[in-house]
Amino acid sequence: MPNTTWKSLERRVAEVLGGKRNPLSGGQGKHTRGDIIHPDLYVEVKLRKHWAVYDLFMDTRTKAAKEGKTPLAVIHEGSRKHTLAVVDLEWLVKLLKAEKS
Residue 70 carries which side chain, given as an amino acid letter? Answer: T
In a 13 Å sphere around the CA of 15, the CA atoms on its Cβ side amount to 6
Task: Give residue-wise pLDDT tens across range 50-71.
Answer: 999 999 999 999 999 999 999 9
Q: Is the full-model pTM beyond 0.85?
A: no
Task: Give residue-wise pLDDT tens across range 70-95.
Answer: 999 999 999 999 999 999 999 999 99
Q: How far apart are CA 52 and CA 54, in angstroms?
A: 5
Q: How far apart are CA 1 and CA 16, in angstroms?
A: 22
CB-based contacts of 37: which residues, under 8 Å, 6+ apart? 14, 19, 20, 21, 22, 31
